[in-house]
Amino acid sequence: MSDLDDYQQLRQKHPGWCTIESEPAIFNQILRDAGAPNVRVVELYSLDESILDEPDPIIGLIFLCRWRQDAKEIQETEPDCSSSVWFANQISENSCGSLAMINILFNAESLVLGEELTQLKSFTECLTPPLRGLCLQNSEFLRKIHNSFARRSEILQNNLDVIDACKNTKAPANENSANPESAYHFLAYVPSGGSVWELDGLKRQPVRLGEDDGEHRWLLTAMPRVQLQISKYSEGELMFTLLALTQATANTSTNQAFDASAVRAVQVETLEDNGSFPYATRARHPYVAFMRHYIRVLAGKGIQVGHS
């Protein structure tokens, strides 16, 4: 078996969720592969009413921040998960980015999802947040798409983390940790059932932020909460990112059936225009395994590499 084949098998058969790069282009590719081609992830650089002018409607926000454990944090979550919002707890340590996107997708009623996501949403509809999180963790379909962007070193590190966890030798992540990437976390903000919600997979229940007044002005309710999260960081510390999930619109008449293939074509064209598609393709390619395999082929032909 070649290095390329071995690398692909390692990705496909790895049972856990690996750390991947928090890059909108990669998230866009994950959404396409999972069956949400009419959704695009964009990075926001301001937090004011100008985000209401986005050309495509925003169906959810994702706030990426460095997680800090606060023992004095006030418990604001609802006593029970409302039936008007779909919320799943985070069970796997490295799945928070994909989980945040799923929490948003499953609350957007106007979206047309692929068969796998539709079945998963239907199956988990009546489950509790912990059981929903367990279903997502055990979804081979989602895990393979997520891990397709994992590097070999991250897969091997994930295996070591599992071993350390079994031996109880791994210290919990904190802001002084040698690997601060392990302490990053994703918070999702969505409108659902007439309310605006903060969905934190590490909390038992969602947090209701206020009423949704419609017309996509729910963002005005979510923004103060995001600003509160940002205020927790000292001035000059850039340890957060704000992403928006937007729904691509298709040029269809009101009496015409929704054409998912047309929206998919629009989305692919958009990704290629803004450079996301090529970047995601390059990020997924196993360059190290390719070079090792290429050097072996040259060596087999008697060609020395690295010598003039």
The residues annotated with a catalytic role in the active site are 96, 185
Query: What percent of the chain is helix, strand and coil (3-state, nearest 5)?
Result: 45, 15, 45
How far apart CA 158 and CA 165 sit, in angstroms, is: 10
Query: Which strand ranges, in their side-by-side order, compose the sheet holding 207-211?
Result: 39-44, 240-247, 58-66, 184-192, 195-199, 207-211
Give the chain's radius of gyration (CA, Å): 21
Tokens (6 digits) for 245: 């999930």
Report the half-sphere exposure of 70 (CA within 13 A, side-chain side).
11
Residue given tokens 């009623």 in the structure block: 109
Task: Tell the burial category of 15 from Cβ atoms under 10 Å away from its Cβ (0-12, 13-18, 19+).
Answer: exposed
